[in-house]
Amino acid sequence: MLGTTTGVRVLGEHDLSAVQRLVDRDPLVNLFVDHRLATTRMQPRWLGGEIWGYFDGGELVSACHVAANFVPVEATPDAIDAFTRRARRTGRLSSSIVGPATEVGALWERLEPHWGPARSLRLNQPFLQIAGPPRIAPDPRVRPVLLDEVDVLYPACVAMFTEEVGESPELPGRHSYRARVTQLVTRGWSYAIIEDGEVLFKAEVGSATARGCQVQGVWVAPEHRGRGLAARGMAGVVELARREVAPVVTLYVNDYNVAARAAYARAGFVQTSTFASVLM
């Protein structure tokens, strides 16, 4: 369906095929939004927000996922200007801006006076992927977490989130975090090494399509760090995820996390793009 000749409007279910064509230009970089399209079919009751489209000459050229995560898709400079004008009018609806570094940086430059200050700026996050077997032998103890192990897994998830984000996921208003952890376990997307009731290593698939999946929440118990567990654990995640979820595994990592980047490189991940995140 054609929109206005030039400008932004909220997209609906009838725009699904046009948005899908945008996502398909780079289905791994746009994997999060691709996953959202597949799981919600852009139905408002499932989307939990909106998808904005920028039209030029009646053609959809860019989009932006606007919910808890503000995520640009193939955003041109004109689209970024248009999205930020609309975002200033609507007010901040998201807790983060995430996506390709150039697009996120341009969005934040325009939105900071209205939405800022940021709680954390992460403007250089290598985007990594692996499309084949891991480079090193996987740790054979890595396996999907069982549903009756959620109580064992959950404290590790809280510790990871707190360490990564800088605040607890259990703050008032975040009652859904345990439900999210349970949801990923139920899907078979949560992997861990658990011994004697203790989580030594864990990681989850947060988003997935038929073409790829994105790993998040990678964590090693502090007392087990520095022993190569992260690299071997990630090799195990790659092996299982490629077999059970999608053929390509992706993730993005903070540039300053030297230990994590080294572990991912050992496992066989290579950088193909650069992401950025603004946490508010």
Structural domains for the chain: 6-117 (3.40.630), 130-274 (3.40.630.30)
Average pLDDT over residues 195-205: 97
Average pLDDT over residues 58-80: 97
Local confidence band at 1 (pLDDT 50, 70, 90 cut-offs): very low
Rounded to an integer, what distance in angstroms lies between the CA atom of residue 257 and that of residue 219? Answer: 12
Least confident of 14-23, 31-40, 170-179: 170-179
Q: Count CA atoms within 13 Å of residue 133 on its CB side.
A: 4
Local confidence band at 273 (pLDDT 50, 70, 90 cut-offs): very high
pLDDT at 4: 56
Q: Is the pLDDT of residue 145 over 50?
A: yes
Q: Is the pLDDT of residue 214 over 80?
A: yes
Least confident of 67-81, 127-141, 161-175: 161-175
The number of beta carbons lying within 10 Å of the beta carbon of residue 171 is: 9
pLDDT at 133: 98
pLDDT at 65: 98
pLDDT at 116: 84
Mean pLDDT of the chain: 95
Query: Which pairing describes strands 59-66 and 50-56: parallel, antiparallel, or unpaired?
Result: antiparallel
Q: Which residue has the higher pLDDT, 183 or 172?
A: 183
Average pLDDT over residues 251-262: 97
pTM of the model: 0.94
Instruction: Give residue-wise pLDDT tens across range 87-114.
Output: 999 999 899 999 999 999 999 999 999 9
Q: Is the pLDDT of residue 46 over 80?
A: yes
pLDDT at 174: 58
Average pLDDT over residues 247-274: 98
Contact 276, 124 (CB under 8 A): yes
Report the percent of the chain where pLDDT is more than 90: 92
Q: Which residue has the higher pLDDT, 173 or 62?
A: 62
